Amino acid sequence: MSTTFTIDTATSRATPTPAPMKRLTVPAVRARKGGEPLVMLTAYTVRMAQLMDPHCDMLLVGDSLGQVIYGLPSTLPVSVEMMCAHGAAVVRGSYHSLVVIDMPFGSYEASPEQAFATASRIMKETGAAAVKMEGGEAMAQTVSFLVARGIPVMGHVGLTPQAVNILGGHRVQGRDPAVAAKVLADTVAIDRAGAFAIVIEGVVEPIAIEATRAVSCPTIGIGASAECDGQVLVAEDMLGLFERTARFVKRYGAMADLVNEAAGAYAADVRSRAFPTPDQTYQPKD
């Protein structure tokens, strides 16, 4: 059964409740190849989706939620259930951006049929229009199987976090000529298989540029190059919620400081009985 609900305007905590509008489509994203750069951020919750949506072309419900939301050591333990629950929340909280949902580790690699079952479940249960999957040449057949059956796929090559155990850590890819050639071949294979966009993560810049020029679909860089057709960051990294981030992250805010200050001020007010004041309490009517 679908878990897709829409926001109830009577109970929504957001003011004003965003007005539904036409979402960016997969063909519209594809048509941006070589044009105005595509803006993508991750979102895992309804409120972050509401806040990010007006600024973005795409919202990615990344399996990075395993680390960011659940404190897991990697993306490997993330389940399809987790992706569906967060994906449905992000679709509820967004009206403009194309929502793309990550296929978690173990839910698609075994066969194209397994991938179709997972992707169709994710789309039914969330209302999202596309899925993302990691992998290069080895996943090309699966990408074309899904695309031929109505499932838009975003690829993900280079530093693929689900392959952390094969890669031996979160290492920049492409310094070694053989690895650089593999990243290029992977990007081209996923493009030819019909992906509508490809994330290129953690790749030395000249290879990211060469890969972008070699493919017909937009590339979305993260730790790659400004010459990619778009960029993506984990929103909480971009907002400054964490002290430790990868070198490719630029912080545009200081969210951790804001939370610390507000929580500290609240705690002080509670301890001194300065909160609640008459403004925050209810009295009997005369």
Asked whether position 199 contacts ligand KIV by CB under 6 A, the answer is yes
Alpha carbons 103 and 234: distance in angstroms, whole number? 17
Q: Pinpoint the alpha helices (H) of the chain.
A: 26-30, 46-52, 65-68, 80-92, 112-126, 140-148, 164-167, 177-192, 205-214, 235-238, 255-271
Asked whether position 63 contacts ligand KIV by CB under 6 A, the answer is yes
Beta strands 98-102 and 58-61, pairing class: parallel
Among 18, 42, 80, 236, binds ligand KIV (CB under 6 A): 42
The answer to whether residue 201 is catalytic is: yes
Subset of residues 129 to 188 that bind ligand KIV, contact rule: CB under 6 A: 156
The answer to whether the beta carbons of residues 68 and 236 sit under 8 Å apart is yes
Asked whether position 48 contacts ligand KIV by CB under 6 A, the answer is no
Cβ closest to ligand KIV, residue 86 vs residue 156: 156
* Total residues at interface with ligand KIV (CB under 6 A): 12
Asked whether position 189 contacts ligand KIV by CB under 6 A, the answer is no
Site string for ligand KIV, 209-248 (x = CB under 6 A): -------------x---------x-x--------------
Alpha carbons 152 and 247: distance in angstroms, whole number? 31
Asked whether position 62 contacts ligand KIV by CB under 6 A, the answer is yes
> Closest distance between ligand KIV and the C-beta of residue 211, in Å?
15
**Which of 70, 64, 143 is closest to 104 using CA atoms?**
64
Asked whether position 102 contacts ligand KIV by CB under 6 A, the answer is yes
**Which of 146, 171, 147 is closest to 158 using CA atoms?**
171
Cβ closest to ligand KIV, residue 98 vs residue 278: 98
Asked whether position 107 contacts ligand KIV by CB under 6 A, the answer is no
Cβ closest to ligand KIV, residue 63 vs residue 229: 63
Alpha carbons 196 and 215: distance in angstroms, whole number? 11
Indicate left, alpha or beta for 20 from its phi (over 0: left) and psi (-120 to 50: alpha): beta
**Which residues sit at the interface with ligand KIV, rule CB under 6 A?**
42, 60, 62-64, 102, 156, 199, 201, 222, 232, 234
Residues classed as catalytic: 201
